[in-house]
Structure 1
């Protein structure tokens, strides 16, 4: 570590995704934890929402841990906390905070935070209320811990991730100013909303006023709490240069430091196990595809995949499906392609007819040839609508097949019964043509599994790689994208997939190695320095 950095004695890190796997922030925190835990031991404490025992399968409670303090916290502050270990590498301490009692005084707390820091919660709705009360409860918990264990004089960091936690930051600024605060936005709420509402975010970024757009898009409360946290935190960070520009314009505050998202590769199989897992995954993908399509696939079929959150435009799902449509009529494509869209949607469960066929029953599936699980209201689904519009048929004589996998892949989906990672390793190529992607774990994870990947210049990861004019045979291809070049992006994506499909086995192996080399450069051992800078900036304000 650089000798100029100030090393914290304690780090309290808060997120709605602590022991709660709902998005990419879970990956950020859970993979970074072991590096910090090696330094801080049990002085690294994560705080997340208590959503009930069934909601936290990766949390192991330890009733004896902090028993006296928890009793006092409940007695004098009315806040109940479950303490234990987060079942991730390093097994750090985690506190799950029950914030439900604070709803009784919610309006009064909103008034307080308005008077203290100008946070306007007047038009709050939906998940804002739970998030605000959770954040406020976390502030109470950290303050109580600070006083009970007499930490005055210690170098303490309280790190808040995303707008959902920021009421805790305001509480500490008011009542425990000795604690240095960091606020990280992984994507601005107003920027995501602008992009998701079909408005051109990038071409007009310098002309947008964040407050005005928040009013137009009914985002006043979330935008207000995020903006004020950015201004009042001792250190404000975000995850990529592209999001830093967004913050500067829409929040009126440039981040003090950019903290790119690293990861740990301990979940990637090695040696003989890698090849075994790869063959198992490819076999599973082929079996499900053939059962769904009701015919055999050529042995050299190219398995292409995309995945992630169901944001049809922001994640570039529209671009991917359009590229598949054009590939179907391509004269340059000589191999069969099966494209898997692994995007969780609203489902009622696995398709029974497909399950039956997979189990060896001769009854051939007669349902939708594009989807593996039963969607609720499929007629409203954007992916199925786009497939229908594309006129792809999945007929045996066609070169391009598309399969929508709308289930969370956690190993028990009823069709594959494998995790996302256990299927990813069996794919040949992944595609993530994002329009709005502050970082982009999915292409990074793909590269870590030695699966060449295509992303765009509008993703933080794509900008970090900066391989703009490179082809997919370099392991990661980054397609230049902006608000007005949709057709060019689709055309370039088609060319990259065609190019990859034509590579020799030796060239494919070279691309796979280059992808893994790029991913290795994003390990936390390389990126943790950015957090050291953030800690130093925040702690230097407490001297």
Structure 2
């Protein structure tokens, strides 16, 4: 779509995660903004909730102007609604309208009553999130009604693209009241599918035979599931993010998607290939520093022969494939020991679990290592100073003096005592934090039952980090993106994953990744010619294999990767970035164009 072809069309995108980071949809919306601004210009508007406590850091208010969007905001303010008009402070600076659902909570009883009367959805069970969502949807419906009325007077049509049921609750009312706005609804995952997959090891086999009403009541999510179905059936165009989720929608939502809208990223490429390796080396050095602090007080291993693997995401032990990854790593450990491999693998498990604090032992170990590092710097400065003085003052004797004699007794003693106080006979901890429920944690249960407790003879070591990585954490001193770039392989063998951003982020960072054919991304990339191991993309078969066979496949993949040479890994890193180009929004936006054309049946689309 060229801008000149869109002068008579306004596109609004509605998402609960506009200026409100909760999950993957935040990344979808935020990363897509620059392309949307390029395609739609001032005719693009984002709608979201004004609820996040840090919203002021992401959003900049603007004065009212002559735009139709601003006029609609003014009308809602005249009605007594709290509406904020401005820009989201991300790349592209999109126009944004945020609604405070608490400003209409006094109407919540009426909102629920009429929703039940009009759409036969009962909200008798109290749910604070659902209350917020319904109030937000009520405000969005009023806004779109006013915006459409204003735009029609100017001969401008409105398309509204809703993401997920939390943003789509306005759709049924818009259709019932026949507001002339064209609606597109995207479900990024069905609520019922997520619950079922977590509890049914044969979810995909049972899917065609499930009764959605019975299952929704079993999980006590009847109202949300009915809302989701109302959004899917009420929209002009229904879409989802992958063919895998499309099949799920047919059985659980009762409507086949009109269009598949795969998720992308803003792919930033480096102009020279060696820069990818330089950046990897920079952040790998920081991870190595952590590894020394965590492991070397108990025993050491060669860092130049150590690979860093990781997995990350929400803590859904089965859905995210943590269970399969751990089982495969246990088998990898056995394979490496049987092969007498001189390599070491450190596996990082990065997720979010309730914790009390970072383990004092882990913090203390890192602090003492920092002290050793400071001692080394002081000794180096002392030796350099004395060596320079020796060189300058001895004109005839050019022999190198004993460097040991140049270190004062104070620094020798301090250096020795610090190291002695640091060394321990205890095994390195497998978890970096004090968990609220350490006993029942699924990851720790597996590691303990498998006796994978970071013994010196094990070739696979584990670091379970039950908190998201950020620069504010004292353990790594890296943000998540930097941490990813410092690793060698990402492992994401999901059982239930409508799309899956993590492997895409790996590829964009020049890091090879493992995905599964049950994830939307894994299913999609099977049809990409370069989506292969040569380009750093490994796919575990889970759709037609049982858990044991899939674990064997993944263990074999990991063992092959361990056996690659450094030169091969560098080549793969560069080719991974090449593959990531496929998922640049500039290339994927054409699918969105098709959805908007289907919705309006009148918008000219660029070939």
TM-score, normalised on structure 2? 0.83
**Offset of 1:515 from its aligned partner?**
2.2
8 Å contact kept, 1:303–1:428: yes
What does 1:365-444 correspond to in 2, within 5 Å? 369-444=429-504
Q: Does 1:466 align with 2:469?
A: no
Matches within 5 A, 1:475-490: 475-482=536-543, 485-490=546-551
| 5+ long unaligned stretches in structure 1 | none
CA shift at 1:167, angstroms? 1.7
Measured in 2, the distance between the counterparts of 1:12 and 1:207 equals 37
Match of 1:296 among 284, 287, 300: 300
Note the aligned Cα RMSD (angstroms).
Answer: 2.8
Instruction: Point out the more displaced range, 149-158 or 252-261.
Output: 149-158
Compared CA separation, residues 199 and 132, structure 1 to 2 (3 A): farther
Equivalent residue number for residue 310 of structure 2: 305
Q: What's the counterpart of residue 327 of structure 1?
A: 332
SS at match of 1:22: coil
Change (3 A) 1:312 1:335: same
- For 2:350, the equivalent position in structure 1 comes to 342
Residue 375 (structure 1) shift: 2.4
Secondary structure of the corresponding residue to residue 377 of structure 1: coil
How much does 1:482 deviate? 3.1
Report the equivalent of 1:501. 562
The CA distance in 1 between the partners of 2:557 and 2:177, in whole Å, is 56
Deviation at 1:305, TM superposition (A): 0.8
Matches within 5 A, 1:32-181: 32-55=32-55, 57-63=57-63, 70-76=73-79, 78-123=80-125, 125-147=127-149, 153-175=155-177, 177-181=179-183
| Superposition TM-score, scaled by structure 1 size | 0.92
* Aligned match of 1:188: 190
Report the equivalent of 2:509: 449
- Deviation for aligned residue 1:474: 4.2
Q: 1:8 to 1:189 in 2, by over 3 A?
A: farther
Structure-2 separation of matches of 1:146 and 1:175: 13
- Cα pair 1:350 1:413 within 8 Å, conserved: no
The corresponding residue for 2:398 is none
Cα deviation, residue 321, structure 1: 1.0
Per the TM alignment, residue 435 of structure 1 is displaced from its structure 2 partner at its CA by 0.1
- The separation in 2 between residues aligned to 1:101 and 1:479, in whole angstroms, is 49
Q: d(CA) in 1 for partners of 2:169 and 2:250? A: 22
CA offsets 1:386-410 (integer angstroms, 9 cap, x no match) = 2212210212222110101122223
More helix by share: 2
CA distance in structure 1 between the partners assigned to 2:535 and 2:274 by the alignment: 24
In structure 2, the CA distance between the partners of 1:237 and 1:24, relative to structure 1 (3 Å rule), is same
1:255 correspondence with 2:257:
yes
Is the alpha carbon distance of 1:152 and 1:229 closer, same or farther for their aligned partners in structure 2, counting shifts above 3 Å?
farther
Q: Which moved more, 1:360-369 or 1:418-427?
A: 360-369
Structure 2: how far apart are the matches of 1:147 and 1:225? 26
Q: Secondary structure at the match of 2:569?
A: helix
Check the 8 A contact 1:322/1:390 in 2, yes or no.
Answer: no
Gaps of 5+ in 2: 372-417
Distance of aligned partners of 1:318 and 1:257 in 2 relative to their CA distance in 1, 3 Å threshold = same
Cα distance, 1:52–1:335 mapped onto 2, change above 3 Å: closer
**Alpha-carbon distance between aligned partners in 2 of 1:50 and 1:368, rounded to the nearest angstrom:** 44
Give 1 or 2 for the bigger CA radius of gyration.
Answer: 2
Shift of 1:483: 7.5
Contact 1:343/1:407 (<8 A) preserved: yes
Deviation at 1:491, TM superposition (A): 0.5
Larger mean Cα displacement after TM superposition, 249-258 or 368-377? 368-377
Quote the offset at 1:119 in angstroms: 3.2
| Structure 1 counterpart SS, 2:186 | strand
Per-residue deviation, 1:38: 1.0
Question: How much does 1:467 deviate?
Answer: 7.0
CA contact (8 A) 1:240 1:438 kept: yes
* Alpha-carbon shift at residue 51 of structure 1 (Å): 1.5
**Residues in 2 aligned to 1:466 and 1:414: alpha-carbon distance in whole angstroms:** 40
> Relative to 1, partners in 2 of residues 1:270 and 1:423: Cα closer, same or farther, differing over 3 Å?
farther
Deviation at 1:6, TM superposition (A): 8.1
Q: Does 1:520 align with 2:581?
A: yes
Specify the SS of the correspondent of 1:141: helix
